[in-house]
Structure 1
Amino acid sequence: MTGRRRFISEHRDLYGVQRLCRVLDVSASGFYRCIVTSVAWAARKATDENLSGRIEQIHGESNGAYGVPRITRELRERHGVVNHKQVARLMRERHRAGQHLQRTDRTMIADKSVPPTPDPVGRVFAATAPDVRWRGDITYLPVGGSWTYLATVIDMHSRRVVGWSLAEHMRSDLVIDAVGSAADARGGGVRGVVLHSDRGTKQYTSAAFAEGCRAHGRRRSMGRDGPATTTPSRNPSSPR
């Protein structure tokens, strides 16, 4: 908005738009078009800021591992429809990117020997109160010339990490320790909490994990199979 149009906008209630436009030799129709454009720009900026905040939250929860596809999927699950091109633009503008992981051996196929687990969550990744529904996940982190594995537990009510575990292996202990960390953070009183995970991750389908949940009164939930993920190569690639 030019200086004259800005002056008209700031003083139009006092002198009137038509009078100010005539005195300052500004087209009234042009002034109104400028106002509409400014309002649209402000609305877009507010939308971008709101979405950027949500992107930053999910990116932080993943410790920088999630890229555009995974963040877009998380946003849709939590908040509804979102344009992946808009997510890509905002991440690019804010210099946010996921980590490109080289993968070789398939090591996270679901354990078929463990009985099927129901899915009471049903793709509704929300909860009416804290410690009603938790969500478990595993992320690869490049550290030096090798990999470290991060298991997290997120409360579906607050969308915050309530427990985590870090290790150089991907045994069942990794996710068991993460759930134990979450329980300790909540004072231990979380019997009955539903712990949801992808069916395709063998750590969550292991007999040891199932027994740990049963012993502590936690209900397991598993959604549809996630993509068959793999163990990364010894030398992690640089982030995208």
Structure 2
Amino acid sequence: MVEVKKERRPRRSYTEEFKAGAVRLVLEEGKTVSQVARDLDLTLSALRTWVEQARADSGKGKPGALTSAERQELTKLRKQVRELEMERTLLKKLGGLHREGERVKFEFIRAQQAHFSISLLCRLLGVSRSGFYAWRSRPPSSRKRVDERLKVLVRGAHTLGRRAYGSPRIHRALRNQGVHVSRKRVIRLMQEERLVGRARRRYRCTAEGAPGQPVAANLLERPFTAQRPNQRWVGDTTELTTPDGKLSLAAIIDLYSRFVVGWALSAMNTRHLVLQALDMALRRRCPPEGLLHHSDQGSTYASEDSQRVLARHGIRRSMSRRGNCYDNAAMESRFSTLKNELGEFFESASSARVKLFDSIEVFYNQQRMHSAIGYAAPAEFERAAA
């Protein structure tokens, strides 16, 4: 019997920007190390090392830990904040339910009891708990019972989709759970629950070419697909807004799985920005020679530094035709989705960095269903095909 040697996986490395983003999810967003490691497909030991190093650098390690009384007070305050946030979130959902009859209010309470306490729901709607329990004890019809169960599942899928999913993705999410339901019924239930997806805005072409810079041929020619990972990458930049000015975001997507392999954020849209995104992608994926990198004709991608880095790694260049956004539609679509789901105005540059890290690395790469790959998440699609 011939023993087949398994090809050793190249050791992955990460940029300091990526490490800092992962550490912020633990220290600032309150997530556990195991949760962040699972979301980002990291090892626990590596993430713990990054967190401990960050705590040591900031002087907030174990020697300065809180006392027991301080921890109890902090826990109490956090609980109060969570309750206030829950109440504020619920008040936004109530809409005009205060003017409706008890039956409509009770139906809303039953649909929301998986997410909020019944006491809170009854108090905000001005009904009694005993009245709700008496109404709930009445036997509903079989179809009504199925509808109520489906409403909970629909709202759960909508929440997991960060309130951006419309009926196609929610319908697919229910099918993935083994729930057989028509899309028309999903649409009706979403309307009853007042759930809507985020619609894309109309595209506006703002990019301009770089006159005088060397331009590569369009080798991609619009088939935004690939037969294997690290065969075709597409990259582009976009602008975000803060009170202090504009921020530029550069990103690179693998067309095989739509995985965002590299990205970078900066106050200026220069060649250094796209090179930072490319450096993250190269460290994370370790692509073989022959990879195709497609972009527009902007000066950041046509610069000598960009050409030199691509050539050094054996990467072929490809560029869209001047002013033709359809030649890089996959990247334009990704930025459009990002802005619709996350917004393009942020309180500060640091807030933008934290939210983008969570949106790209945690939600989009690891969780969000993508229609181009059979409504699977990019990371899930790659693991299934491995």
TM-score by length of 2: 0.33
- TM-aligned CA deviation for residue 4 of structure 1: 9.3
Structure 2: gaps (5+ residues): 1-139, 144-165, 173-194, 326-343, 347-386
1:162-206 CA-partner distances (Å, limit 9, x unpaired) = 1011111111111111111101011x343221000123x221122
Opposite residue 197 of structure 2, the aligned amino acid is R
Q: Which structure has more RCO (C-alpha within 8 Å, separation ≥ 6)?
A: 1
Of 219, 238, 252 in structure 2, the residue corresponding to residue 153 of structure 1 is: 252
Sort the Cα spacing of 1:157 and 1:100 in 2 relative to 1 into closer, same or farther, 3 A.
closer
Opposite residue 305 of structure 2, the aligned amino acid is A
Q: Distance in 2 between matches of 1:48 and 1:148?
A: 33
Q: Distance in 2 between matches of 1:192 and 1:154?
A: 16
Correspondence for 1:130: 229
Identity %: 29
Once the two structures are superposed, the pairs formed by residues 103-142 of structure 1 within 5 Å of their partners are: 109-142=208-241
Following TM superposition, the consecutive aligned residue runs of length 4 or more in structure 1 with deviations greater than 3 angstroms are 3-6, 50-53, 95-101
Q: Distance in 2 between matches of 1:97 and 1:157?
A: 23
Once the two structures are superposed, the pairs formed by residues 87-102 of structure 1 within 5 Å of their partners are: 93-95=196-198
SS at match of 2:227: coil
Sort the Cα spacing of 1:118 and 1:164 in 2 relative to 1 into closer, same or farther, 3 A.
same
Opposite residue 263 of structure 2, the aligned amino acid is W
- Tell me whether 168-177 or 111-120 shows the greater mean CA deviation: 111-120
SS at match of 1:93: coil
Q: Distance in 2 between matches of 1:206 and 1:196?
A: 14
Do residues 193 (structure 1) and 296 (structure 2) align?
no
Do residues 182 (structure 1) and 276 (structure 2) align?
no
Correspondence for 2:349: none
Opposite residue 162 of structure 1, the aligned amino acid is V
Sort the Cα spacing of 1:122 and 1:174 in 2 relative to 1 into closer, same or farther, 3 A.
same
- Computed over aligned residues only, the root mean square deviation of the Cα atoms, in angstroms, reads 3.9
Q: Distance in 2 between matches of 1:211 and 1:225?
A: 22
Sort the Cα spacing of 1:49 and 1:147 in 2 relative to 1 into closer, same or farther, 3 A.
same
Opposite residue 116 of structure 1, the aligned amino acid is V
1:113-154 CA-partner distances (Å, limit 9, x unpaired) = 233311221111110000000000111111333111110000
SS at match of 1:175: helix
Correspondence for 1:49: 168
SS at match of 2:317: strand
Correspondence for 2:309: 212
Q: Distance in 2 between matches of 1:147 and 1:98?
A: 20
CA contact 1:111–1:206 (8 Å) conserved in 2:
no
TM-score by length of 1: 0.51
CA contact 1:153–1:163 (8 Å) conserved in 2:
yes
Give the strand-richer structure, 1 or 2.
1
Count of matched residue positions in the alignment of Structure 1 and Structure 2: 149
Give the helix-richer structure, 1 or 2.
2
Correspondence for 1:162: 261
